């Protein structure tokens, strides 16, 4: 089976985790991934970018497996996270739109994909024949050796040609789905009088060995001003990626991880069901909900008077949630947190603190953070 050969090259490159969103042209490959690797399913490809970043920062060697159309949804995350922070991101992509494509809408984007990757200076490898599958190992090695994204575009011809395994895999036995869902939920939101900097300032002094990820823009500046530590991963861009990064960190090592995320970011991602499904006990998400896009002028989000983030987390399957509305309540919730994942919904007022910007470049943030997380043995294993 060509799929088995492909995955042997993936394994030989040291990949330990595959983050995926399935493609119907690689059903057999996906089935074999489930049998051979730790596998994490995401709902949107861009969430996989942050998840892989967190896994790598925790000392793992992740890879994404998607269909190539998903590259379109993840380009901004790629260009604002693994590119400037110099993080490896190997992507094994089923290249749609080029071989016996039956879905018309797959063609307009995918036939131009190499030109788009060239324009963005993203390295890629094209595999048209099964005889070229041995190039997979080198492409993955390149991503980790040069700390950059490397896209591997594999034509469906490889799997569906002579000697391939066209068709659907043997159906898997599904686990029982029956369950009871009970929810008694009533909350009162009072008019908030404290701001994001107050909330960050309430938690920052309590941090000990925890790894912290903070949302992009002003929140990162406010955490830096409240308490700078090498264990803080400051995001400079990559909207919606704070919690995916934190999830990857939590799954990739044993230390506690706290994410300072925002309402706009959390409403724009599909990561919360993934958090619930993977259920890392060492992850705490603090949702700093000012009901606005705070870094761009306090334009209101739908969390201001419509959506309830705590209920959203509950609906996603996260059961350990609470709502806090002042610094004392937040400190108490953080100190008394139980094994997670935990979701602390802090209802705050719009407004940014006047604090200086972070003086570090993206790579400096990465190096400081990895220096605080990685042991010498990990560095030797992953970098040689």
Whether residues 17 and 127 share a domain: the answer is yes
Residue in the block written with tokens 């089976």: 1
Q: Could you list the pLDDT tens digit for every one of the 384 residues in the chain?
A: 799 999 999 999 999 999 999 998 999 999 999 999 999 999 999 999 999 999 999 999 999 999 999 999 999 999 999 999 999 999 999 999 999 999 999 999 999 999 999 999 999 999 999 999 999 999 999 999 999 999 999 999 998 854 444 556 777 889 999 999 999 999 999 999 999 999 999 999 999 999 999 999 999 999 999 999 999 999 999 999 999 999 999 999 999 999 999 999 999 999 999 999 999 999 999 999 999 998 889 999 999 999 999 999 999 999 999 999 999 999 999 999 999 999 999 999 999 999 999 999 999 999 999 999 998 877 666 555
Domain for residue 165, yes or no?
no
Strands lying side by side in the sheet with 257-262: 232-234, 211-214, 257-262, 283-289, 342-347, 320-324
Domain for residue 31, yes or no?
yes
Give dist(CA 86, CA 361) in Å, integer.
11
Summarised one tens digit per residue, pLDDT across range 203-223 is: 999 999 999 999 999 999 999
Domain for residue 173, yes or no?
no
Q: How many other C-beta atoms can be found within 10 angstroms of the C-beta atom of residue 229? A: 16
pLDDT (0 to 100) of residue 170: 74
Q: Which residues does residue 233 pair with via DSSP β-bridges, in sequence order?
A: 213
DSSP conformational letter for 60: -
pLDDT (0 to 100) of residue 162: 44
Domain for residue 381, yes or no?
no
Domain boundary among the residues 104, 133, 160 is at: 160
pLDDT (0 to 100) of residue 163: 43
pLDDT (0 to 100) of residue 384: 52
Whether residues 262 and 315 share a domain: the answer is yes
Kindly list the distances between the CA atom of residue 15 and the CA atoms of 33, 92, 147, 275, 356, in Å, as whole numbers in the listed order.
11, 12, 14, 21, 40
79 is written with which tokens?
Answer: 């260009």
Residue in the block written with tokens 């909330």: 199
Give dist(CA 276, CA 278) in Å, integer.
6
Residue in the block written with tokens 């006990």: 281
Whether residues 135 and 31 share a domain: the answer is yes
DSSP conformational letter for 167: S
Give dist(CA 367, CA 123) in Å, integer.
23
Question: Domain span at residue 64?
Answer: 2-160
- Cβ density class 240-261: b for 16+ within 10 Å, e for less: bbbbbbbbbbbbbbebbbbbbb
Please name which of 41, 70, 164, 300 lies closest in space to residue 78, comparing C-alpha atoms.
70
Summarised one tens digit per residue, pLDDT across range 15-67 is: 999 999 999 899 999 999 999 999 999 999 999 999 999 999 999 999 999 99
Domain boundary among the residues 111, 142, 160 is at: 160
- Cβ density class 190-222: b for 16+ within 10 Å, e for less: eebebbbbbbbbbbbeebeebbbbbbbbbbbbb
Domain for residue 184, yes or no?
no
Whether residues 150 and 203 share a domain: the answer is no
Cis amide prior to 341 (ω within 30 degrees): yes
Give dist(CA 236, CA 224) in Å, integer.
12
Kindly list the distances between the CA atom of residue 271 and the CA atoms of 44, 165, 240, 241, 267, in Å, as whole numbers in the listed order.
8, 32, 9, 9, 10
Provide the domain count of the chain.
2
pLDDT (0 to 100) of residue 63: 98
Instruction: Say which CATH number the domain at 40 has.
Output: 3.40.50.970
Domain for residue 181, yes or no?
no
Domain for residue 172, yes or no?
no
């Amino acid at each position: 089976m060509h799929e088995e050969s492909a995955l042997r090259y993936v394994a030989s490159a040291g990949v330990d985790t595959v983050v995926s969103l399935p493609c119907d042209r690689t059903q057999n490959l996906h089935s074999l991934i489930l049998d051979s690797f730790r596998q994490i399913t995401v709902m949107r490809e861009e969430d996989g970018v942050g998840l892989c970043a967190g896994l790598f920062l925790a000392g793992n060697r992740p890879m994404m497996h998607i269909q190539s159309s998903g590259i379109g949804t993840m380009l901004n995350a790629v260009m604002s996270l693994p590119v400037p922070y110099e993080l490896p991101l190997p992507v094994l992509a089923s290249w749609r739109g080029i071989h016996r494509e039956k879905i018309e809408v797959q063609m307009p984007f995918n036939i131009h994909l190499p030109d788009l990757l060239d324009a963005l200076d993203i390295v890629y490898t094209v595999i048209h024949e099964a005889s070229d599958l041995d190039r997979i190992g080198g492409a993955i090695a390149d991503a980790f050796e040069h700390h950059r994204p490397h896209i591997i575009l594999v034509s469906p011809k490889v799997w569906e040609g002579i000697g391939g395994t066209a068709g659907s895999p043997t159906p898997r036995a599904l686990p029982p789905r029956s369950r009871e869902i009970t929810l008694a939920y009533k909350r009162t939101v009072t008019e908030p009088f404290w701001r994001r900097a107050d909330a960050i300032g309430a938690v920052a002094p309590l941090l000990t060995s925890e790894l912290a990820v903070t949302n992009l823009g002003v929140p990162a500046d406010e955490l830096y001003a409240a308490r700078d530590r090498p264990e803080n991963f400051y995001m400079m861009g990559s909207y919606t990626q704070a919690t995916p990064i934190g999830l990857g960190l939590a799954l990739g090592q044993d230390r506690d991880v706290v994410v300072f995320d925002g309402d706009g970011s959390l409403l724009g991602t599909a990561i919360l069901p993934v958090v619930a499904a993977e259920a890392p006990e060492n992850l705490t998400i603090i949702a700093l909900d000012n009901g606005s896009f705070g870094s761009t002028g306090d334009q209101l989000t739908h969390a201001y008077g419509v959506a309830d983030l705590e209920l959203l987390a509950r609906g996603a399957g996260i059961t350990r949630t609470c709502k806090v509305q002042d610094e004392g309540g937040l400190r108490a919730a953080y100190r008394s947190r139980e094994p997670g994942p935990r979701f602390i919904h802090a209802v705050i007022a719009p407004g940014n603190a006047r604090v200086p910007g972070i003086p570090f470049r993206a790579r400096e943030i990465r190096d400081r953070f990895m220096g605080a997380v990685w042991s010498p043995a990990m560095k030797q294993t992953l970098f040689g």
